[in-house]
Structure 1
Amino acid sequence: MKINTLIVDDEPLARKGLSLRLAEFDNINLLGECKNGLDAVALIPQLRPDLVFLDIQMPGLNGFQVINKLKELKQPIPIIIFVTAFDSYAIKAFDIHALDYVLKPVDEQRLRAAVAKVEQYLAMKNEGDNTHKLIRLVADFTGDDCEDILRKLAAGEKIQSPHYPDILAIKDGSEVTRVPVSDIHWVDAAGDYMCVHTSDQTHIMRRTMKELDQQLDPRKFVRVHRSAIVNISFVQKLVSHISGEYHLILSNGSELKVSRSHRDRVKEMINL
């Protein structure tokens, strides 16, 4: 089986060197090369490669942002092997996501191991798993802090996933109630206040939706519309209606409407 492959790197010599190495593989069909992230975002949907060797640090769009942009455009995300000059110790931060990478200059043995892993992905039809791992990578390591992450990698600093509190402190007059985040079913806005719903109680707190959203782990909580956030752990069903609307049914029987703008993210989270 031929693996349709694309190289994305802003360094001409790096692209040339990798293409020569890949020419030695009978199962690799090199579709082409991209000199930057913008070209990659344009070409990947056209060529639909099985595999992309993606440089992390590039002008315009870096490797992480290429993945994020494809996701925003609702394009299929191919299997990604990161190509990087970052220190091997620093890049091991990605091992927790089961993603592969090769260091510059590319070592032949490491390259063969990476291609073998791709063969295994394709043989087991795990493309969906690979996509979800990439999406989690983007959720953990990109966004406003993306450039800072790249700076730390370049400096060989240790990368850690963002920390989210286990307890939400809710002040009510002279009292402060400590609510375990894992007990929160959903949160909705009521004017200038947030209603935090647990299994047996609703707590009221004065905080904006944006502030609260930043405190909750995006791998566990998802925005279902502009004024509600749901804990995926308590979602029992996603129901589609004849009208085209979607509703979430929670384990306690509560039903929440999913807005059109958040529908894809909700589906994605439920299928993780």
Structure 2
Amino acid sequence: MPLRVAALGQLPGTLLAQLTDLAVSMDLVVLGQAPDTRAAASALSHSIPDIAVVSTTFSDGTGFSFVRELPAGQRPVGLVFVGAREDEAVTAFELQATDFLLWPAAEGRLRDALVRAKQQVLQLSLLRTADELQRLLTEAGGSSGLDLAGLFRGRSESTVAATGGDTVRRRRAAGGASTGTLIASSPWRATGRTGDVRAKGGRDGEEGVLDLSQEDGGRGETEGRPLRVLVREGRRTRFVPLVDVDWFEADGNYIRVHAGGEKYRTRGTITAIEAALDPRQFVRIHRRVVVNMDRVREMSPLPGGDGLLVLGDGSTLRLSRTYRSRVR
């Protein structure tokens, strides 16, 4: 089935013409253009496209404001911003854009952006399929022996290979020293579900739990690194495996834990996370963000010395120039 593309905002006529031409060869359906926020909001409320090509300029506002105020359920998976200034790229990627096109763009650049957006849509579809299959296997009361993570990891590798060989990222050597070598990106990994429990105890203490609400992280005299992070949801306590965590984000006196497409909130600080976790795997990239380097797929420079990290699921994070040396 063709993927649906919406054109939002005051996009250049030459870009719209290219988009129409590319739709046929790329198996896309262009839903039409909405030049102002009212028309765009109405279009998304009736049919949410898989991909949106969004101008930074609307006739009655900005594309950034429009996307920022969109309800989560109306946001397209693939999001390509189009603007006339380089510095707009920073805001675009802060809004988790798939790509940013500086217009006028070189020939083929729009196609590259659409390929990346399609890849993100397909990866999310694969992830949802894996999740549903795992749920069905669990409900059946057992496992067929099928390695879902390995299956979808292999499919993702094929997708990455098919969309170009420039998807690379800088990885640290095992000892933590910077190698400065570009290594082919690892694909996203399908993660297991996090466990739900009512209270902490039993094997949880033995496995090592990071409790950010306590001054010492709940570690006390325990040796070694924690394997899970504790978050509280009302009266319930949830233990999220650290291998499932994509990144930690500071939010005032709280920390948002991003894991496998889910978000959890707990009291704590970024400083406490840095102190408790393996600095070779969990690296601070911004004053508010610590990322799991196993999730990073590629790194790209941004104007002003900052950088952009693209994760395996297509999420994008801003790399502050202050912390850039830590991920080289």
User: Could you tell me the TM-score, scaled by structure 1's length?
Assistant: 0.45
| Greater RCO (Cα-Cα under 8 Å, separation 6 or more) | 2
User: Could you tell me the TM-score, scaled by structure 2's length?
Assistant: 0.38
